[in-house]
A and B are shown apart, each in its own frame.
Chain A
Amino acid sequence: MNAEHPSLQELEEFVGGPLVASADFEAHLVHCAACAQALGKQARVQEVCEFAARKLRRPNAWVHKVRGPGYVMGAVMAVAASLLWVVHGPGMARASESVPSQHRAQLERADAGWGDVILASLDAGPRG
């Protein structure tokens, strides 16, 4: 570690780990305004990265296996489209329309619990 100020990589490793470091390192971060500010920026990048990672859709292992040969996925898509066409009749369309809009909004909110927390948490952070 640099005797004066920690490097960018050291700050990144700190915020990317369990947030525990040597007493000297932590004391410097507490008493040096410039490093406290740099730490805030790196913590923000780390937090944004962690939130973005949660939003990424990770394909399942079995998807990896069938994704190789394209014709398998093509066949699966064709079967799925046929089933959708058979099942999704006028009755289902009517049922879908009959759900009150406020209930739908409630369901959407319930599904976005972490997302709301993410945005709330992003509020009021340091910038730039």
Chain B
Amino acid sequence: MWLSPQTAVPRPVAAWRELIARHDRAVVLSLLARGVRLDRAREIAHDAWARLYEQHTLGRLERLELPGLAIAQAAFLAASDGRRSQRALRALPPGPLAEVADVADGNRSPEERLALKQDLATAQAVLAGCPARAQEVFSLAFQNPERPQAEIARQVGLSVQRVRQILWEVRGRIRAALEASP
């Protein structure tokens, strides 16, 4: 979604609240997926929204594509955060804190980055091997994760139990494929 700075001016705060409510989950999830701790992920997401709001109200953003722009901003903040943490932790002896720092490190080698991009291809290959009905259920559920499963079940004409089972199975296959990929 995007809106121009001009269109958002009349009620910017209300419009921003609505946008944040709609997209904040995607931003926090992206940070968790990078290994950022839950509490820190929420703080970074908050900072990312604050910076975007500021830039937008100053008219410095030509277009506001969400959640992509917020995810990118949060990733930038997380990477800066990770570098600061690394510097601070270098003085500490190895232990549990260092382990957490490894998880939170957003800086990876180009080889690792390339391998990460392959994860999407791996998931797509798994999905391609699933029956059409399973693909449909998967698509409906994961395109809108907060949508109730009962609603999806009604739409596709299956029981809620069956929808739950399909999602568990397909997600499990993808998880196993990701874990097995070199």
Contact = CB atoms under 8 A, between A and B. Distances in A.
Given A26-B38, A36-B103, A56-B127, A19 B138 contact: no
Contacts, number: 145
B84 interface: no
Nearest to B181: A128
Contact of A48 (B37, B112, B115, B120): B120
B71 A121 contact: yes
Interface stretch (A72-80, A91-99, A111-119): A111-119
Interface of B is mostly: helix
Contacts of A29: 37-38
B25 A52 contact: no
A33 B96 contact: yes
B124 interface: yes
Given A18-B25, A124-B106, A39 B38 contact: yes
Interface residues of B, number: 52
Contacts of A15: 29, 32
Contact of B174 (A36, A43, A52, A54): A52
A17 B145 CA distance: 6
B18 interface: no
B28 A19 contact: yes
Given A40-B34, A50-B143, A122 B119 contact: yes
Contact of B171 (A12, A51, A123): A12
B103 A40 contact: yes
Contacts of B116: 122-125, 127
Interface in B159-182: 171, 174-175, 178-179
Given A126-B33, A126-B34, 18 more contacts: A19-B28, A36-B38, A40-B35, A45-B171, A49-B138, A50-B29, A50-B145, A52-B120, A52-B123, A53-B143, A58-B139, A58-B140, A120-B71, A121-B33, A121-B71, A123-B75, A123-B108, A125-B116
A-B residue pairs, 4 tightest by C-beta: A53-B142, A117-B68, A43-B32, A52-B123
